[in-house]
Structure 1
Amino acid sequence: MHRITFVFTSLVFALCTLAPARADIGALTPHSLRCEYLTNPLAIEEPHPRLYWLLDASRRAEHQSAYQVLVASTPDLLAQHRGDLWDSGRVESNQIAHIEYAGKPLASRQPCHWKVRAWDRYGRAGPWSEPAVWEMGLLAPEDWTAQWIEAGPGPVDLTITRAVYSTEDGATSKDVTSHLAALLNNRGGDFAVTNDTLGGDPAYGKKKRLRVEYMHEGTLHTAEAAENQTVSLPTGRIPYLRRGFTVSKPIARARLYTTALGVHEITLNGHRIGDDHLSPGWTDYRKRVRYRAHDVTALLSRGPNALGAMVGPGWFSGRVGLFGISRFYGDSPALLAQLEVSYTDGSTERIITDSSWKVHAGPLLMADMMKGETYDARHEIPGWNAATFDDSEWATAQTRAETRNLQAEVSEPVRIIEELPAQTVTEPTPGAFIFDLEQNMVGVVRLTLRGRAGRPITIRHGEMLNPDGTLYTANLRGAPSIDTYTPASDAEFTWQPRFTFHGFRYVELTGLDSRPEPGAVTGLALSSDMPDAGTFECSDPRINQLQSNIVWGLRGNYLSIPTDCPQRDERMGWMADTQVFVPTATYNSDIAAFMTKWMTDVIDAQREDGAHSDVAPVTRGLTYGTPAWADAGTIVPWLLYEIYGDKRLLERCIDSMIKWVEWCRTHSTNLLRDRDRGNDYGDWLSISADTPKDVLGTAYFAHSADLVARSLRVLGRVEEAERYERLFEDIKAAFNAAYVAADGRIKGDTQTVYILGLRFNLLSDDHRKRAMEYLVADIESKGNRLSTGFVGVSHLLPVLSGNGKPDVAYKLLLQDEFPSWLYSVKHGATTIWERWNGYTPETGPHPDIGMNSFNHYALGSCGQWMFSDVAGIRESQDPRTRADWLIRPLYHGPLTSAGAEYRSIRGTVACRWSKSDSEFLLHLRVPPNTTALLRIPGGGIADVRESGVPVKNAEGVAVLLNDGGTSDLLVRSGEYAFRVDLLKPVRTPTTR
């Protein structure tokens, strides 16, 4: 992924299309081959993996009439066009996605080299694609002989010197030093700030906090937290782990399969393996643990070799979620690794984690996702992971009995996707240097500077500054987000944390002798490395900044799971945030693999009775059955089917979807969700517009029933589909009887109740008309402002433009007064805020510091509409259109130009339009194998030209309709340049 710099792919089109170089060679070339959404994956566990490719065409109006896939066990066989594993033969089909492998059964570790060719519309075969490969993972439990290993318990150099439990003002206090010392075990301690933990209440009815002073590794530290939060003390150093071994024969290939209970880095002969971070990511480790495979052939050599590793607590035993929870999934981290070496003589050897590994304390004193990292370079052991290192004095690692469900990773890993050098540095208080990256981001920093031997350098992170220029950290709540590095010498060093991440724009350094240059700090942005899918740009720079904010919010919060925010003590997979944002996310990134993984997390978090959790993976302290949150379990699989055509995922989710709808039926009264609604968040963070929660819950119950019915029809389960279609109609009737008045007003009379009624098809035709009137009247009465929260906002703009009010939608998008999307842009936001008014120059940050994230993508769900309506790119879900794409940009508005490019599962579609008083220009790209239904303005078809010729004569274009105000054109694949003469009067359409 690259920094957001919109470069619209050149759409300057030739007057004539290119002819193939040879008449006997087809016009289609497959490229971008993938297996299970991934490029050249090394651990596939699907017995029938699905294959994907895209097509390049040398002329317009091309489609694939047939394809052939070859899969071979070696690259040499593939080069000879011999598919010894599978030769599909010529298959008459235009399908380029979800092609199921149908060859010989595939065993563990099997390499599968493959390529594909396509026949064009004239039945001529094109060239073979470049080869691709996938490998099978370890398919059976007996394939694993490695054992889980850990350092084992060791002494922690930590002494509590003073602990005080007091009121916030300190007027009343209680010394709890000896009490906490008695609780402290040899792994450190996490202390909940509660009366029960601390042995009584020093001041009944008053807010309290705990302050602990302690010595750790010879340095005095302080930790404190408010009541009902947690004070966490260090859990001991992160150890070095290593294993030396000898290779005595020529190597053919080597694969390393590795995972951890926690997060880990692994090296071979001193070289870091892979570029992934925080692996293996977050799952419910009680249900499954993901592993990755690496090709390490090039890193092995004959003679001595060594594997090295470090393992941090991560999400497994570190702090996760709310309430300061540590050790939710287990007590301490562990490593599992299996190196499999194949020699040229046909023999194999395994080097596994077991009791032959050695362990030693290292320089990483503490690592936690929320607290940060503490690193003391004085404890580094040079060459510790080199092949020739003498580890004879090291202790022996301990094996650990674990029964874990090991499964190969199915999504892209977390990687560094961009480096952001600091742009400025200030010193608001003596010795505290503030670096500005000029972009709110998620990740860590890399330091390159000089320190003083033994003097800690403290790195704090924040999203905003206080009015006096100091670092604002109040909104971090119980996540200190502090990294500490202690240099071993006075020489220049370069260092970055391994096992943590933070959400920040600003970085504060203390512990330096002099003012550093901005180049001393570089932000390393971490994200699940999903391929980019789209770009958007228009004539209003504020909207372009909004688009950038949306993308950076996606990047930072799609980190192993779709989190709500990346900075405070939360960072969980909130279900409603995810479901409202998925349509926007898919335009900007290819989230197919990422969401496939997360839907497994969702099902893992579902209770046996069918209730879905508020979050996935599940953590302690949250609820089940919350409307709009739990409904993500039905909404997301359906959206992924609509966008990617993923029928297999729908099949795997359908039972879970049905269980959820049946739970709702059981926990309703006469089909109204009037009870058992979990935490019942409602239209979260709406603006003085409290949507009744039973109305919202019933609307989502109906929507989920509708999606289950649609899914069952797709899967061919017609009788079941009919049952849920009837259920939807019954819920709809109950909704209208209970909540819709005779004049069409819906209970609550908020923008969101009308939005949901319209979006979920819950209203009669007459009431739909009235609902639109009430919705528009409410918006206009507020000065063309919205009042929706997380739930309603995602549907607001599509409902308006889909019901004949695109002008109102534009007014909302371009509004920059509170509450609006551009309000945060006006105040310097570089990501989407949690609140509509998270910060103002006049008042500073919102007073509710506990709920004031500056990187919270949910309100950025408007991005879908910017692509689908402003740029005009949307997929057709109606086969009656005879088209795959609907290109209907909203050009009748204040913008003078807009454009987007979208790399879909079927290829790249792009549309860019501009207008002046005299002409309308539209450049269009339609990917091979697809067609588009294009609507453009014009007084008559004679006013429309394509690449300089009358549109009726343009190759690849058919005129379907011209009503004097617009023209509907069926456009086949290719690149086109349309021009419309606007000097004649044009009738403005009022409906979409």
Structure 2
Amino acid sequence: MGLALFQMPLPKVFFTTKPAWPVLTTPQTKPSIYRTMGPGLCFLATAALICLLSRHALAYECTITNPRVEYMPCPAMGIDVASPRFGWIVECASTSSIHTAASGSSSPNSKGPNGAGTPVRGTYQQAFQIIVTAADADGAVVWDSGRVESMESRHVVFGSVGRSPQAALSSATAYDWTVSVWVATDVPRKNVALEGRARNVAGKKILKVQDTGRRTGSARSQAMPAARFVTGMLNVTHDLSGAHWLVAKSSGQNLCRAPVQVGDVAVERAVLLVAGLGYHVASLNGRRVSDAELESGWTDYERRVPYSVYDVTGLVRGQGAWNVLGVALGNGWYATWGGGEPSRVRKTFIAKLFVNGKEVLASTAATRAEKKGRGEGDGTAVSSERGADDALWVCGEGPVVYDSLYNGEVFDARRASRVQGWDTPEFKIDSHWDFAMIAPAPPPGKLVAPKMPPVRRVAELPALSLSEPAPGVFVVDFGQNIAGRVAISLPRTGTGNVTLRHAEVLQHTGITAHPVPGMISTDNLRSARATDVYMYGEGQGPDGRSGRGEGDVVVYEPTFTYHGFRYLEVRGYEPRLSDVKAVVLQSDAAPTGNIEFSDSLLNQLQAAIFWGQRGNLMSVPTDCPQRDERKGWLGDAQLSGEEVLFNFDVVATLIKFVRDICDTQNEVGQIADTAPFTFGGRPADPSWGSALPSLVFYLFTATGDTLVLQEFYPYLVKYLDSLLVAAEIAGLANLYKSYGDWCALPGVPMCSPHLTGSFSFLENVRQMAEMAAALGKTQDEKIYLAYHQSFTRAFHGAFYRNGTYDNGVQTCLALPLWAGAVPPDLQESIADKLVRDLVETHRYHATTGIIGMKYMLEVLSRMGKTDVAARMLQQRDYPSFGYMLTNPHEPATTIWELWNGDQAGPEMNSRNHVMFGGSVGGWLYKFLGGVRAGPASLAAAGYREVEFAPPLGTCMPLTKVSTSLQTLQGRVRMDWELGPCEEASPPWSSKELRPSTNSSKSSCRRLLTSILIPLGSRGHVILDGRTLAPTSPAFTVHIDGVDVLEASLEPWGLEVLQATDSLVELSLTSGTWMIETLFEVNAEAASLCDTDTAFSLSPRGGGGGYSGGMQDATGAEGVTATS
């Protein structure tokens, strides 16, 4: 066994649960001796730490992965804060069978839930050591924290713990960092926070367990392989001295270059800083410095101007050789009028190149005297045949003769051949080039690094079909609606133009008066032309395919634009299917979540939500990627905030966007409804402005980082103050509004926008109270709780009339229930009205808009009606998401803007809009998957506590759901499977399944749940059967062959928090768990599952202890009516 362990690759470490003696070594050296301690032998080899112990020993291996700086994966570029945050993930898996049961016996089945290769229960990071060094030949240590006793691995601030830094970080410098950790395994102690919550639920029994507090293992890992980060400008005024914003002589000159010698030295490290507005592509010696696209992102340039940082160590030539730095410029958002046309604002850039820590090149314009001294006439034009030794910035016309985000790009192949190699030392500039000039009106905003992953090419899709619906018109279908561009292989020589038009849909009778089958429809793009043109020019050679070889082909892909499309129309050239591919662009946020259902339509829905979100992560979270809009609408961002944090690694992206929102805040605290603010209104509709506190709240819940709260708290206070003043002056019934429950079902009365705005205001006040508590601002917490209590009562008084809220549509009923504005004596009645309207009146179809959809789903689940909500999502006829995905006219691959998108007019009819998908996507994970982050408290946020609540409904239309999340703590997973008790027991079950006690009136069900809890976290399992109509069952819960509700001592690492006949709550330590739950449902009630009858409508409890929302009219959580 020992020999096999040596073969494991670095960085891994093996531990054992016995004995408790630490075995320590530095990452750089091996121990000089082997030590024998107690009954076993522990020794460190190059590959791993091995512990060979007694026959009851448990061996496991740990790895350190996912290094991050400021929430960006390493290598992280552009860290412009003096004390950045470091993060990593530790994962441990067993290399032997695990002791699980209270008796101490190990699992006999190595393939079972606790066999070899599975995560180890009860492990946690006990301590860490971070070492930061300069990324040069010397490798000087900047900070060695020493051993720091801490479980924190998500956001450790540079220099904040352990030893003080040996030196401060420097600007424009590359650093390497590594971390070693000590990992321990404990029998878990009782979780005080969870017990406290359990005690607050009346009538629930809290079971005590034996708590030995026994620590059973501790050892140190090998160091993580070095990860890199590169700083930006830590002192902008100092770091930019000597550099200027430059512009070209004419607007058509979009290529700028400058030569530079770095001296007779070897290049150890080189860092380039560039801000090119609107977009830029930087290159050195003919090679792009990065694979990033549409750099440097989008901000309000009056407030903040983004710049990019590149590690160009491998591109700069030393030893006296010449280099050429090139900057190609596009219009982007900076130089664009409304409608997408280039504006009179000139494209501009600023740049600096540092080699070995010294500035070697800056964006400076030569004086007129310097130019004339070189024989340049009037000092503006460049004479012919100048070489690399003219170390001045010059600009010339590139092949991109027109670029617009909305309208596309025009590329001139003749120019491309004329400037071939323009960014190399060998290129000779001629009279087509002019000296760059200092910008007369540089952008006023402060230069900042975005500190978020840039837009990149994240996928390529092949063409699926090619047709010719009209002579000379070719249409390509990529099978998926995306945001991005097309790369097309064309003959190198040809005549005329090749025109590429992009569209989401094909013409059909629902949207086109006289459709031509197979032709694209672009009406819903409004003024956006979404057209790219490749210009050959006359007399360039023959057209067609003759003599076509690898050297005869050029691949054209636009540079400074993107489109939202599924279909491509090609004119001027007959392509082959293999000539064309779609390039998917996205802010490079890796997918982090995955959820799969036993229902194909729900899988299709999740895929559409995923692709819709992917298409709307483009430096900012946008509403749509195709028409003349593509704005950072706050309403869309608020509704999709939870969903996008489940599906993608967007913490850094959302932090940047919250800064964009804060940039829109005026002196009285009001914010705009889009960010960056180029369109829309201010003050924002409260349901749109809700994005500011909501996104900060979601970020804290996902990260547990109080620095996020601290940064934005002053803006949140100011915003809430503006709303509080408006609410006190006008009252909730007249609170200002703009949009309301946007895109509600046509033909159904709209819920009052005053009600939806007031609801969002109440929700934000509740969030503020929780965030104030997390920051220790006790007085603020009390103030916001008092406000919430007062305005909750005012909400009921403003909108309750004639036995319902406002006009009684689904949104108007769901929002008061969520907000806790419904008095206890009315809760059953309002809940019944909501479910009956959904089930009986509209036969499982929603009538809501984007706001009502999100909260109606959550209210249904908190009422125990997840099965009802799931069945609603499974409908395939209009109006439904299933109709969008399966209708005969244009089956969708992303979620529409409108319920009736296949029939509505083109003025506002996007086929890829994030708002509805965002409203549904978070619910899929939290309630159908049953996985969600713990409450927004210091102890639980950031997935330190993970809640697992598999849905238990009488009419649950699913049999299996598998959910997986990559969190900052590590991988979280739950698979649940629901079936009849008659099925065979799993091999790890030690008991016979209990038969039904009364087969005529009840039916036995079995829920099998597999759970993975990351290292250092605890799981809070909620098995809530209080709504299994019409009577509650008696649960039997098996874990590791033990009936945990009857055993005198629970399995190792488990604690029963509370148990009744219909509600069981467990606290589990980290690792893998398999749970078998047996319960009964009423057969008579189950027989109604295939009907449109709303049975047993009364809500029971508040979701088994799940925090947030569903409060009573006094603001006290967890109190709801029961029948």
Q: TM-score range by the shorter chain?
A: 0.7 to 0.9
Counterpart residue number, 1:151:
248
Q: 1:977 to 1:492 in 2, by over 3 A?
A: same
Structure-2 separation of matches of 1:48 and 1:482:
45
TM-score scaled by structure 2?
0.74
1:343-742 to 2 correspondences below 5 Å? 349-355=360-366, 356-380=392-416, 381-393=419-431, 394-401=433-440, 402=442, 403-450=444-491, 453-467=494-508, 468-487=517-536, 489-490=541-542, 491-512=552-573, 515-620=574-679, 622-668=681-727, 670=729, 672-675=731-734, 677=736, 679-687=738-746, 688-741=748-801
TM-score scaled by structure 1?
0.83
Counterpart residue number, 1:237:
252
Structure-2 separation of matches of 1:76 and 1:957:
49
Q: Deviations over 1:596-635 (max 9, x none)?
A: 0001110111222211111000014534231201121222
Instruction: Tell me which of 317, 328, 342 is aligned to 1:310.
Output: 328
Q: 1:396 to 1:837 in 2, by over 3 A?
A: same
Counterpart residue number, 1:916:
979
Note if 1:47 corresponds to 2:112.
no
Structure-1 separation of matches of 2:923 and 2:324:
53
- How far did residue 725 of structure 1 move? 2.0
Note if 1:338 corresponds to 2:338.
no
Q: Is the 8 A contact 1:287 1:405 kept in 2?
A: yes
- How far did residue 984 of structure 1 move? 11
Q: 1:282 to 1:954 in 2, by over 3 A?
A: same
Is the radius of gyration larger for structure 1 or structure 2? 2
Counterpart residue number, 1:898:
961
Match of 1:22, SS state, is strand
- How far did residue 439 of structure 1 move? 0.3
Corresponding letter in the other structure for 1:913: W
Q: 1:26 to 1:84 in 2, by over 3 A?
A: farther
Counterpart residue number, 1:224:
none
- How far did residue 671 of structure 1 move? 5.7
- How far did residue 733 of structure 1 move? 2.0
Q: More displaced, 654-663 or 374-383? A: 654-663
Match of 1:523, SS state, is strand
Match of 2:925, SS state, is helix
Match of 2:910, SS state, is coil
- How far did residue 489 of structure 1 move? 4.7
Match of 2:307, SS state, is strand
Corresponding letter in the other structure for 2:412: D
Instruction: Tell me which of 909, 929, 943 is aligned to 2:1016.
Output: 929
Q: Which runs of 5+ in 1 are unaligned?
A: 1-15, 154-235, 840-845
Counterpart residue number, 1:93:
150
- How far did residue 56 of structure 1 move? 0.9
- How far did residue 901 of structure 1 move? 0.4
Structure-2 separation of matches of 1:318 and 1:453:
32
- How far did residue 296 of structure 1 move? 0.8
Q: Deviations over 1:866-895 (max 9, x none)?
A: 111212111221879998122111254111
Q: Is the 8 A contact 1:238 1:364 kept in 2?
A: no
Instruction: Tell me which of 885, 894, 899 is aligned to 1:825.
Output: 885
Counterpart residue number, 1:855:
912
Counterpart residue number, 1:205:
none
- How far did residue 940 of structure 1 move? 7.6
1:725-804 to 2 correspondences below 5 Å? 725-741=785-801, 743=803, 745-780=804-839, 781-804=841-864
Q: Deviations over 1:251-307 (max 9, x none)?
A: 121111111120011111110110111111110011111111111111122312211
Q: 1:983 to 1:738 in 2, by over 3 A?
A: closer
Note if 1:872 corresponds to 2:925.
no
Corresponding letter in the other structure for 1:560: S
Q: More displaced, 299-308 or 579-588? A: 299-308
Q: Is the 8 A contact 1:940 1:962 kept in 2?
A: no
Q: 1:283 to 1:32 in 2, by over 3 A?
A: same
- How far did residue 65 of structure 1 move? 4.9
Q: Is the 8 A contact 2:365 2:438 kept in 1?
A: yes
Counterpart residue number, 1:944:
1038
Corresponding letter in the other structure for 1:240: L
Q: Is the 8 A contact 1:793 1:859 kept in 2?
A: yes
- How far did residue 539 of structure 1 move? 0.9
Corresponding letter in the other structure for 1:34: R
Structure-2 separation of matches of 1:110 and 1:452:
45
Counterpart residue number, 1:262:
278
Match of 1:625, SS state, is coil
- How far did residue 466 of structure 1 move? 0.5
Q: Deviations over 1:319-363 (max 9, x none)?
A: 45xx66864xx71111212111128xxx66334454411122122
Q: More displaced, 241-250 or 905-914? A: 241-250
Q: Deviations over 1:480-522 (max 9, x none)?
A: 100000235554221100000100000000012xx42211211
Structure-1 separation of matches of 2:17 and 2:974:
19
1:170-185 to 2 correspondences below 5 Å? none
- How far did residue 464 of structure 1 move? 0.4
Corresponding letter in the other structure for 2:403: A
- How far did residue 717 of structure 1 move? 2.1
Structure-1 separation of matches of 2:1060 and 2:65:
41
Corresponding letter in the other structure for 1:862: V
Structure-1 separation of matches of 2:731 and 2:745:
23
- How far did residue 371 of structure 1 move? 0.8
Q: Is the 8 A contact 1:26 1:125 kept in 2?
A: no
- How far did residue 449 of structure 1 move? 2.8
Q: Which runs of 5+ in 2 are unaligned?
A: 1-15, 20-48, 54-58, 95-119, 186-216, 367-391, 509-516, 543-551, 984-1006, 1026-1032, 1087-1098, 1104-1123
Q: Is the 8 A contact 1:28 1:118 kept in 2?
A: no
Structure-1 separation of matches of 2:519 and 2:643:
35
Match of 1:439, SS state, is strand
- How far did residue 399 of structure 1 move? 1.9
Identical pairs, percent: 29
- How far did residue 800 of structure 1 move? 0.3
Note if 1:131 corresponds to 2:212.
no
Q: Is the 8 A contact 2:330 2:403 kept in 1?
A: yes
Match of 2:816, SS state, is helix
- How far did residue 18 of structure 1 move? 13
Q: 1:78 to 1:544 in 2, by over 3 A?
A: farther
Q: 1:924 to 1:682 in 2, by over 3 A?
A: closer
Structure-2 separation of matches of 1:306 and 1:99:
39
Q: Is the 8 A contact 1:937 1:966 kept in 2?
A: yes
Q: 1:928 to 1:765 in 2, by over 3 A?
A: same
Structure-2 separation of matches of 1:732 and 1:937:
28
Corresponding letter in the other structure for 1:377: A
